[in-house]
Structure 1
Amino acid sequence: MASPQHPVDAVLPPRAMLTLGFQHMLVSYLGAITVPMIVAAALKMTPAQTTLLISTALFTSGIATLLQTVGFWKFGVRLPIMQGVAFSSVGPVIAIGTDPSLGFQGVCGAIIGAGVITLLLAPVIGRLRQFFPPVVTGCIVTAIGLSLFPVAYQWLGGGRGAPQFGAPVFFAVAIGVVALILAINRYGSEFLRNLSVLIGLLAGAAVATALGMGDFAEVRRAPWFTMVQPFAFGLPVFDIGAIVTMTIVMLVQMVESMGLFIAIGDLVKRPVSEREATNGLRANGLASAIGGMFAAFPYIAFMENVGLVIVTGVRSRWVVATCGVLLCAVALVPKIGALFASIPAAALGGAALVMFGVVGAAGIKTLGQVDYENNRSNLTIVAITLACALMPVIMPSVLEKLPEALQPFVHSSVIIACVVSVFLNLLLNGLPGRDAPLAHAGEHAPEI
């Protein structure tokens, strides 16, 4: 008798796939374009170059998402994981790009080289799977949720640089979005509940625009069409020092990705094996190498979208794969992308409060299943990990005088949570046996 299909592998009707995929794209879009905008400003690129860089980042984000969700051969973890540009790569990219002897062509060469190296090292890093028991993954997911809150608060207040930041009208729009999402989840049909974040976000955006919050200047300036092609900024320059620098950054990102794969697998009730984690890391390396060819960046999972998976309860990887296809399409039409980016921040803040809160709640739920009675070391692991992981969120200035080489890493709560929790678990609980069962999260995701 054939075993029932896992919800992760479910193929939904076309209308549901398209609307749910669009919802994922809308949630991820702003995060996907933030890094290229920061890099373009730091490297003093022209408006045309900035538009091209944003388009290539979106296009390769779509490719990276398809590699992880659909997968092929030994590539892809095959989970509902949206891939986006890794923020920890911003510092090294700017450092390499501002070197007169390298420029952005040196950035592309470094990312291609590091992508190939990390692809080859994936089986080695994949063996770290056994170092991520529930006490570790629970800490990581909780830290992710808590570290995302400042982003939600900034949007809720009107967005960075808003003239009247924190004005009551911004709070009113955000609270209205939250209230609508809650109402749909309480009284709506199953189809509407699956789209609750999208409906709340679009309704909030309409209200905010009517109140004069929208700024559509970039929509008017953006071109209708752009062509994404390899080596748009010229042939890559392969510098050994730059490749080594980027490889070190991406090795740390591989450890972070390992924690994310396992945590996401637990959340969707499909525990990730060592082989599957290795396949996911291979896909990250390949996606990064492709990103370098298209003048883009290294990639990692976007936890904002994991929050959406939990809120909707739709775990299908094919929905997120649809998001990847839509990203590739939108990358070719910058005017549409600019329209998405013009959604008023207050509306985004309301949706983010729900999604990010659910991610944190999922981590707390996992930690609630950890044995503290018979193993008091677990309480110590959780306490110290969260205390360390929240430093970049609550008081980032305390980390500013650490060595420059550590700055891209110590300002990531996820990386700190991964490293500290794994280290403390090894120190206090020892190395688990290779044949130990892989415990995972409970049967039901937290409800909003």
Structure 2
Amino acid sequence: MSTNVPTTDVPPPRTRLPWWRAMLFGLQHVIVMYTGCVAVPLVFGAAMGLDQRTIGILVNADLLVAGVITIIQALGIKKILGARLPVVAGASFTAVTPMILIGEQYGLSAVYGAMIAAGVFGVLVAVPFSRLLRFFPPVVRGAAVTMIGLSLIGKAVSMIFDDGPADGQQLALAGGIILVILALMRYGRGFLSQAAVLIALVAGTLAAMALQLTDFSAVGDAAWFGLPQPFLFGAPTFPIAGIISMCIVMLVIFTETTAYLLSIGETIGKPPTQGQLSRGLAADGVSAVLAGLFTSFPDTVFAQNVGLVRMTGITSRNVVAIAGGILIALGLVPKMGELVASLPGVVIGAVSLVMFATVAGVGISTLAKVDFGDLSNFLITSIALGIGMIPVVAPQVYADFPAEVRIIFGGAISSTVIVAFTLNLVFNHVRRPQKKAKTPA
């Protein structure tokens, strides 16, 4: 498969669906990504010792910025910003560890100052970064997307069992939800197939209520309306070390987003142009600037939503724009956000397991296009996935390394991307492969 991109920017059509179907499909996107999105402020807030009220403000800001960037990515701002593709944006876990390290060293005002600086950096380098597309052939992005799916499965399992041992009720409920999704996807027709995830979520929640596995008490205490507070932790400061760390994070986020945008292009049958890629990456940079202003987090394209588009075949940009509107509403109405947050972990986890497995499947389908008769491609994939699994199976390995090393290699996704990118550069660009070899059986 060629890595050349089209020169004419022709985004997928904004398919006109009945309003109620578009709303349901948009809600389906939000529910699928919600837990992963709000987990970022929850983890960061807990690590920094913030009180519950402050963490709630971070969650609201997180949802608001994600909604704005999702709408920008879906509909675009002329030919200035946004990929104009059916993708949903959300807070990136890549930024959490460096943000915690910067906060511990320099304070919370430095976290958001460094984020603003990194966002400006991201906007400036979006165009040159998009020109590196030839260095992201199927062997690189296939390995990256496969690892994205595999590395996230552990988070889904943790949600199902609430980080504890397997429980019979939870296991049975999660298995039932997965079976409902599979049955509807495989044997359902039209709306039933397309809304399989949402139907399974509703059915799973009702079953969880019958089993007394739900708790919606926090919804009554949440406010009806709330606005994020700019510069919540004071005027931003700009330590050089913090800025460098967050700029590295921005480049890692760019590699993730590039892989996602190319994957969604394969799904809809229209590879994104270089212009779409650069505008999509620039939107990531803008998200970091907005996050710095409103104490949120840098956004990236969410893997589970890429998987959802693949599963349902709903490629309408209007649907994801509606999802962005719902996210904004959730950010401005804490009571609504708390309602979604109160959905049982076992239900969200079971759905997420299917979504993350689907993402891994998208990566595998990309790798299927690779010529593994070429020993270089075989080595690139094998070594990248092997090194990428290190933080998954042995997360303590990099614990004592400097922050810069942990930022790059402490994450399964970033380490896989960097290894695959580097090996492809060495084997296929710096020095052309000299031989063909049969891969091991």
TM-score w.r.t. the length of structure 1 is 0.88
Matched, 1:400 2:418: no
The alpha-carbon distance between structure 1 residues 262 and 6, as it changes in their structure 2 partners (threshold 3 A), is closer
Match of 2:422 in 1: 423
Give distance in 2, aligned partners of 1:221 and 1:45.
19
The alpha-carbon distance between structure 1 residues 418 and 264, as it changes in their structure 2 partners (threshold 3 A), is farther
Match of 1:13 in 2: 18
Give distance in 2, aligned partners of 1:49 and 1:398.
32
Give distance in 2, aligned partners of 1:25 and 1:354.
16
SS in 2 for 1:98: helix
Deviation at 1:113, TM superposition (A): 1.6
The alpha-carbon distance between structure 1 residues 396 and 185, as it changes in their structure 2 partners (threshold 3 A), is same
Q: Is the 8 Å Cα contact of residues 158 and 349 (structure 2) preserved in structure 1?
A: yes
Q: Is the 8 Å Cα contact of residues 132 and 262 (structure 1) preserved in structure 2?
A: no
* Correspondence list, 1:21-420, <5 A: 21-72=26-77, 73-99=79-105, 103-156=107-160, 158-160=161-163, 162=164, 165-373=165-373, 375-420=374-419
Match of 2:5 in 1: none
Give distance in 2, aligned partners of 1:248 and 1:140.
18
Match of 2:438 in 1: none
Give distance in 1, aligned partners of 2:415 and 2:238.
30
Deviation at 1:229, TM superposition (A): 4.5
Give distance in 1, aligned partners of 2:253 and 2:352.
24
Give distance in 2, aligned partners of 1:42 and 1:68.
31
Report which stretch shifted further, 216-225 or 80-89.
Answer: 216-225
Query: Structure 2: where are the runs of 5+ without partners?
Result: 1-7, 433-441
Deviation at 1:431, TM superposition (A): 6.3
Structure 2 counterpart of 1:288, which letter? A
Give distance in 2, aligned partners of 1:114 and 1:382.
30
Deviation at 1:272, TM superposition (A): 2.4
Q: Is the 8 Å Cα contact of residues 9 and 317 (structure 1) preserved in structure 2?
A: yes
Report which stretch shifted further, 107-116 or 238-247.
Answer: 238-247
SS in 1 for 2:131: helix
Q: Is the 8 Å Cα contact of residues 80 and 317 (structure 1) preserved in structure 2?
A: yes
Structure 1 counterpart of 2:284, which letter? N
Structure 2 counterpart of 1:145, which letter? G
SS in 1 for 2:300: strand
Deviation at 1:364, TM superposition (A): 1.3
Q: Is the 8 Å Cα contact of residues 28 and 197 (structure 2) preserved in structure 1?
A: yes
Structure 1 counterpart of 2:291, which letter? G
Deviation at 1:62, TM superposition (A): 0.7
Q: Is the 8 Å Cα contact of residues 11 and 85 (structure 2) preserved in structure 1?
A: no
Please give the per-residue CA displacement for 1:254-306, whole angstroms capped at 9, x wherever unaligned.
23322332233223322123222111111111121112111111111110111
Please give the per-residue CA displacement for 1:18-62, whole angstroms capped at 9, x wherever unaligned.
110000101111111111112222222232222111101110011
SS in 1 for 2:23: helix
Q: Is the 8 Å Cα contact of residues 15 and 318 (structure 2) preserved in structure 1?
A: yes
The alpha-carbon distance between structure 1 residues 247 and 7, as it changes in their structure 2 partners (threshold 3 A), is closer
Give distance in 1, aligned partners of 2:240 and 2:355.
41
Structure 2 counterpart of 1:284, which letter? D
The alpha-carbon distance between structure 1 residues 330 and 277, as it changes in their structure 2 partners (threshold 3 A), is same
Deviation at 1:7, TM superposition (A): 4.9
SS in 1 for 2:132: helix
Structure 1 counterpart of 2:162, which letter? G
Please give the per-residue CA displacement for 1:197-224, whole angstroms capped at 9, x wherever unaligned.
0110121111112211112343233222
Give distance in 2, aligned partners of 1:399 and 1:221.
41
Aligned residues: 423
Report which stretch shifted further, 389-398 or 379-388.
Answer: 389-398
The alpha-carbon distance between structure 1 residues 202 and 431, as it changes in their structure 2 partners (threshold 3 A), is farther
Deviation at 1:362, TM superposition (A): 1.7
The alpha-carbon distance between structure 1 residues 42 and 133, as it changes in their structure 2 partners (threshold 3 A), is same
Please give the per-residue CA displacement for 1:293-342, whole angstroms capped at 9, x wherever unaligned.
11111111110111111111112222112111100001111122112111
Give distance in 2, aligned partners of 1:67 and 1:153.
32
Structure 1 counterpart of 2:63, which letter? L
Give distance in 2, aligned partners of 1:167 and 1:118.
45
Q: Is the 8 Å Cα contact of residues 11 and 84 (structure 2) preserved in structure 1?
A: no
Q: Is the 8 Å Cα contact of residues 101 and 403 (structure 2) preserved in structure 1?
A: no
Q: Is the 8 Å Cα contact of residues 115 and 286 (structure 1) preserved in structure 2?
A: yes
Match of 1:442 in 2: none
Report which stretch shifted further, 24-33 or 424-433.
Answer: 424-433
Q: Is the 8 Å Cα contact of residues 62 and 326 (structure 1) preserved in structure 2?
A: yes
